Amino acid sequence: MEEEVEPFYRELPKVELHAHLTGSVSVATMKQLITGKPHLNIKHSMTTIRKGQQRTLDECFEVFKVLHQLVDTEEDLLMITKAVIREFAEDGVRYLELRSTPRVETKTGLTKRRYVETVIEAIRQCKEEDIDIDVRFLVAVDRRNGPEVALETVKIAEDYMLSSDGIVVGMDLSGDPTIGHGKDLLPALQKARNCGLKLALHMSEVLSQKEESELLLTLPPDRIGHGTFLHPEVGGSMSLVHKVRQQNIPLELCLTSNIMSKTVESYEKHHFLYWYQLGHPCVLCTDDKGVFSTSLSQEYQLAASTFGLDQEAVWMLSQQAINCSFAPEAVKEQLQQRWAEYKSQLNC
Ligand code: IMP
Ligand code: ZN
């Protein structure tokens, strides 16, 4: 897959803002996990959707269940987190916000707090190893688990935001969009916002979420994941579009993920074009690079070839993503400086 990416896209410095940890585990790491747990009888085809294949959203969520069986100890978690960070760095990602849902694994003694601590430890180890990437962590709320778990997760996120030296910066709302309703999670999300956690929320991933999106926009979120059905051409509304525009809320857009999980019909019909033409901040992301067999370089190349973007436009997209991140202002300035140095080298 990697050789299909032109050098420009690989060398382009990139910001990844929408990457689920478990979904980002590569085929190579997955092989290692499968080999280490032969009793689970898991086949590679159960953990990755190959290029050109498609699955329903339901089937994609089944894949995550399999992956969770494979990653059930602190050691696994430390190993996959470090591998995912290394792979993003090798792909030219210089700033990464990883998101993950803290899980309990009674059999191995993994607790939600140990889960978060292990991810933070992996991020710290990568920093000590001088891997050229700045990594932050968004603690994820799985919408399927309801309001009480959401509140518990917010408390965990708040505690680590205060004690992780800036590694935990915010929260994600994700999980099967057809299950549960945002209104039940609103108090938890409000609490998160009030204590200073940034919010990146999956919104309007499926058409039935129009009312929920209206509600979530009152928070408002700091970034929107997917937002596939916000605009009127696909059953959303101008009222939703106005609210997103007025508050200038960046969209995290994941082309391959949406095609493979069949929420968008084709690359050409991807809602990237709608928002990009409005001049709205759009950030290209991978979502689950392992499950969907992609990389961020590849997503940039795909956007460029599908929508006719020249190198200057691609550059602007990548640079604009810095301001959409949850990094402190001083870090954003440093990243802008690095981007300027890269620009003269890349000659675009
Ligand atoms: P983890 O939180 O690191 O275990 O990453 C996998 C989890 O991310 C899944 O169980 C889902 O809750 C969430 N996730 C991954 N991709 C998507 C998506 O496209 N939509 C909604 N949730 C997702
Ligand atoms: Zn996602």
Atom of ligand 1 nearest to the CA of 101: 2
Query: Residue 2: pLDDT above 60?
Result: no
Q: What is the mean pLDDT of residues 201-221?
A: 96
Calculate mean pLDDT across residues 35-63. Answer: 90
Instruction: Please tell me the number of the ligand nearest to residue 64's CA.
Output: 1
In this structure, the strands spanning 93-100 and 168-174 are unpaired
Place of tokens 């009888």: 41
140 close to ligand 1 (CB < 6 Angstrom): yes
pLDDT at 1 over 50: no
Tokens at 159, concatenated: 């505690």
- Specify the pLDDT at position 55: 86
Residue 50 DSSP one-character state: P
Sequence-distant (≥ 6) Cβ neighbours of residue 309 within 8 angstroms = 303, 317
Ligand 1 test: best mutation among 49, 59, 149, 174, most atoms within 8 Å of CB?
174
Catalytic annotation, residues: 205
| CB-facing half-sphere around the CA of 212: CA atoms within 13 A | 24
Distance from C-alpha of 185 to C-alpha of 104, rounded to nearest angstrom? 20
**139 Cα to the center of ligand 1, angstroms:** 12
The Cα–Cα gap between 27 and 31 comes to 6
* 347 has a pLDDT exceeding 80: no
CA proximity to 302, closest of 347, 277, 266: 266
Could you give the CA distance from residue 200 to residue 211 in angstroms, rounded to a whole number? 18
Contact 174 CB / ligand 1 (< 6 Å)? yes
Predicted local confidence at residue 54, as pLDDT:
85
Q: Show the domains of the chain with their CATH numbers.
A: 7-25+71-346 (3.20.20.140)
Instruction: Give the tens place of pLDDT for each residue, 66-115.
Output: 999 999 999 999 999 999 999 999 999 999 999 999 999 999 999 999 99
How many CA atoms within 13 Å lie on the side-chain side of 298? 19
